Chain A
Amino acid sequence: MLDLLPHIINGLTLGLLFALIALGFTLIVGVMEVINLAHGSLFALGAYLALSTIGADWFADTGFGTWWLGLSLEIRYALALVAGPILAGLAGMALEVCLRPTYGKAPLYGLLLTFGAALVIEELIRLGWGTGEQSMPVPQMINGAFWMAGLIFSKYKVFAAGFAILVILAIWLFLEKTPYGAIIKAGSHDSEMIRALGHDLGRLRLLVFGLGAAMAGLAGVIMAPIWGLRPHVGIDVVIPAFLIIVVGGVGSFWGAVIAALLVGLSVGISGAYAPAWSMMSMYLLLIAVVGFRARGLLGRKTALEA
């Protein structure tokens, strides 16, 4: 049992990171009823933009670039952690504008459009940053390892997991405690009613999609030092994200978080006993949960089913 403890801790860490990845996805599905297959590409885009922010790729030759590169890595990293997601959020907003003609039609069109967008974004990344592997620099204070109870832990993973908890709480507070959150939640129940109540549905969608895309970008920045960075890294994201929202129940915030922790635990613990099957455990979890609970753990009926 003692041997298993690190695997459980590891699984929970992994679960928190998965939750970070899935949150933006579930937000967009819940409110807009769009399965955003470009989530992974936005994830990659956010990470690449953060990388360029740290390295001053586009403005290194200017006076500002020189001053910027003179700053310490900690400051540049912290700012990139903000800039990457914001830029990815802007890209997401542009995508939302493209999505507008598909509203009112079958959810299929949104799914297809984002599939096309995923191809386009990935190819653009290839053009802009090249096809090779890149490495995201990480400040010294969160790099390296530390020992506790005879076990080794990665400082960065602890940081990432803590950061994920903060982001999850912040999003939850935003949805629960702010008027915007109330509108978003109401929008996910009944968008027509929101419009009838005089709220600008178009702006709400733009905001939600931008926020969801920014979350994807943020997850990208956080995951890049763990997974590495290459143009098709987004592929690794869409499947767990999608799996988590199905297991958790489409549109359910805590459902997604719980599902993410479950997926993390199942991957972590199966990694201890049958590592060769650890990837498969995700899919088995999906089939097991959905076999018993048609709408996932905390799911409810949505317009997506009709």
Chain B
Amino acid sequence: MSKANITRRRLLATATGTAAMTGGLVTWSGPWKHNRVWAADRPIKIGITSDASGQYANSGASDRRGMMMAIAEANARGGVLGRRIETVHIDTETTPATGSRVAERMISREECGFLVGAVSSGVANAISQVAQKYGVIYLNTNSSSPTESGENCHRVKFVWDGNGANFAQAAIKNAVESIGGRFMLLTNDYVWGHDTARATRGLLDTYGGEVLDEILVPQGTRDFSAALIKIQQAGPDVVAAAVGGDDQKALRQQVAQLGLGAKPAWINNQQDWPDIYGLPIDNLFGVFGTTWYYKLDLPGVADFVQRYQAMYPDTRMRVPGNVFYNGYMATSTLLDAIERAGTTNNIAVIRALEGHVMPAAQRMQHHDAVIDPDTHQVQQTVYLATANQAPSEEDDVFKILAQSAPEDVRDQNASKGCKLESYEDTPTFDA
């Protein structure tokens, strides 16, 4: 019993305070040696770090619903390792500085053993830096910046969404072959935009396309008419757009106004479901990527949609989308990993997640997915979609054009940029 009285906080203080100087002292001594330290009555606490205000408030809410459904289902099955799961949510405000503070609070005051949730890569970064300091496992559910599993990867961080490079892989070859090779790039002038554009250029070299011009638009651009005029003057076959957030929403409005959505062909990196839900169909232009759609013709999907509707009968969004899906899948896979590890020891759980293969049936995708042990990004099926001109029901706005197996869309640069911290440098504790 005396062992159980060691508070989590003291353990953390020891771990972090001494990790740097006496790395050897706090060495990990194998996950199975000191498992079951905690009595079964102590709940597992998960911190939910999704944005509830700011640019990604809407996606953050969807993300959180996904996590909550996974947790509710696990609790209904009797919890994990016989322990109940509790959650605490604090708004990260789509602001990195807030992300840092929220992570600190969740770990040191709320004593959360795991953190889950992100849409903005800036916030995800900020949280994961804090999480790595304490060794707390953090799931980046929905931020699709390639740097998340590249140069900013961490041992404790796992990335669940497909990234810009994955979606580009899926779309470019298809477009060069079926539409034409004269491309124009419309790129948001920041890291995610540049990374995605670089991936697109590399792929165009491979598949024999050419870049006529690249138009950089600064973040915060609300008027795209200058760019649209340039595009219209140059007359490319395809415009590959890497424009995100509110900028993309304004772009979508203006492309729809001009009726430029069909010609030239547009390739958008990814359309998050909460961003387009409820908008008129002409707002959905071009071809875009997604990791999941509620009308995929696979076993389990219909049941999943029903469970969503039963749990959230009053939500404006009547069917789940990719953001919800990622939140749900990430959380349920984490809980499953804890069960498989037989302990909440963070290093043991990390090892249970690394390289873990998730069968296609469980993922409700066409191919098995795997958590890449070198980058911690989930390598998964990527779908290409476009607006559905013949919807079977009001919400059925995507038409899935193609699917790509994980190995075909792998982000080749990620493993070069990513250097995970060693297990020894990651503080260890039992959540």
- Interfacial residues, chain A to chain B (CB-CB below 8 A): 3, 6-7, 10, 13-14, 126, 130-135, 137, 143-145, 151-152, 154-157, 225-228, 230-233, 236, 267-268, 271-272, 275-280
Complex: A156 Cα to B255 Cα, angstroms: 12
Check A145–B226 contact: CB distance below 8 A: no
- In the assembled complex, how far is the CB of residue B261 from the closest CB belonging to chain A, in whole angstroms? 11
Most chain-A CB neighbours within 10 Å: which of B215, B253, B276, B283?
Answer: B253
The reply to whether the CB of B274 lies closer than 8 angstroms to some CB of chain A is: yes
User: Which 5 pairs between the two chains have the least Cβ-Cβ distance?
Assistant: A271-B226, A276-B216, A131-B57, A228-B249, A132-B58
Nearest CB to that of A272 among chain B residues?
A: B226
19 contacts between A and B (CB under 8 A): A6-B233, A132-B58, A133-B58, A134-B278, A134-B279, A135-B279, A135-B283, A145-B259, A152-B228, A154-B225, A155-B257, A226-B254, A227-B250, A230-B249, A271-B223, A271-B226, A271-B227, A272-B226, A279-B221
Check B218–A154 contact: CB distance below 8 A: no
Check B246–A137 contact: CB distance below 8 A: no
Check A154–B227 contact: CB distance below 8 A: no
- In the assembled complex, how far is the CB of residue A160 from the closest CB belonging to chain B, in whole angstroms? 10
Would you call the interface of chain A mostly helix, strand, loop, or mixed?
helix
Q: Mark B91-112, 1 if CB is under 8 A from A, else 0.
A: 0000000000000000000000
Neighbour of B226 across the interface among A7, A135, A155, A231, CB < 8 A: A7
Q: B61 to chain A: which residues have CB within 8 Å? A: 131
Nearest CB to that of A236 among chain B residues?
A: B222
- In the assembled complex, how far is the CB of residue A123 from the closest CB belonging to chain B, in whole angstroms? 8
Neighbour of A131 across the interface among B58, B260, B280, CB < 8 A: B58
The reply to whether the CB of B391 lies closer than 8 angstroms to some CB of chain A is: no
- In the assembled complex, how far is the CB of residue A164 from the closest CB belonging to chain B, in whole angstroms? 14
Complex: A243 Cα to B52 Cα, angstroms: 30
Most chain-B CB neighbours within 10 Å: which of A3, A228, A231, A233?
Answer: A228
The reply to whether the CB of B312 lies closer than 8 angstroms to some CB of chain A is: no
- In the assembled complex, how far is the CB of residue A115 from the closest CB belonging to chain B, in whole angstroms? 17
Complex: A152 Cα to B254 Cα, angstroms: 12
Check A135–B229 contact: CB distance below 8 A: no
Within 8 A of A (CB), among B282-314: 283
Known: A132-B274, A227-B222. A152 touches B260 (CB 8 A): yes
Nearest CB to that of B217 among chain A residues?
A: A275
Complex: A13 Cα to B258 Cα, angstroms: 15
Neighbour of B277 across the interface among A7, A126, A132, A272, CB < 8 A: A132
Nearest CB to that of A237 among chain B residues?
A: B222
Most chain-A CB neighbours within 10 Å: which of B230, B283, B316?
Answer: B230
Nearest CB to that of A155 among chain B residues?
A: B257
Q: B258 to chain A: which residues have CB within 8 Å? A: 144-145, 152, 154
Complex: A3 Cα to B123 Cα, angstroms: 41
Q: Mark B235-270, 1 if CB is under 8 A from A, else 0.
A: 000000000001001101110011110000000000
Complex: A272 Cα to B232 Cα, angstroms: 12
- In the assembled complex, how far is the CB of residue A61 from the closest CB belonging to chain B, in whole angstroms? 17
Neighbour of A278 across the interface among B54, B58, B218, B246, CB < 8 A: B218
Q: B189 to chain A: which residues have CB within 8 Å? A: 276
Complex: A151 Cα to B221 Cα, angstroms: 22
Complex: A37 Cα to B233 Cα, angstroms: 39
Known: A132-B58, A228-B253. A277 touches B233 (CB 8 A): no
Known: A154-B257, A276-B189, A280-B218. A10 touches B226 (CB 8 A): yes
The reply to whether the CB of B24 lies closer than 8 angstroms to some CB of chain A is: no
Nearest CB to that of A153 among chain B residues?
A: B258
Complex: A268 Cα to B283 Cα, angstroms: 24
Q: B202 to chain A: which residues have CB within 8 Å? A: none
The reply to whether the CB of B55 lies closer than 8 angstroms to some CB of chain A is: yes
The reply to whether the CB of B151 lies closer than 8 angstroms to some CB of chain A is: no
Q: A151 to chain B: which residues have CB within 8 Å? A: 229, 232
Q: B54 to chain A: which residues have CB within 8 Å? A: 232
The reply to whether the CB of B336 lies closer than 8 angstroms to some CB of chain A is: no
Q: A232 to chain B: which residues have CB within 8 Å? A: 54-55
Check B226–A275 contact: CB distance below 8 A: yes
Complex: A85 Cα to B229 Cα, angstroms: 32
Check B233–A3 contact: CB distance below 8 A: yes
Q: B227 to chain A: which residues have CB within 8 Å? A: 271, 275
Known: A157-B257, A226-B253. A279 touches B274 (CB 8 A): no
Check B215–A143 contact: CB distance below 8 A: no
Nearest CB to that of B274 among chain A residues?
A: A132
Q: Mark B24-52, 1 if CB is under 8 A from A, else 0.
A: 00000000000000000000000000000
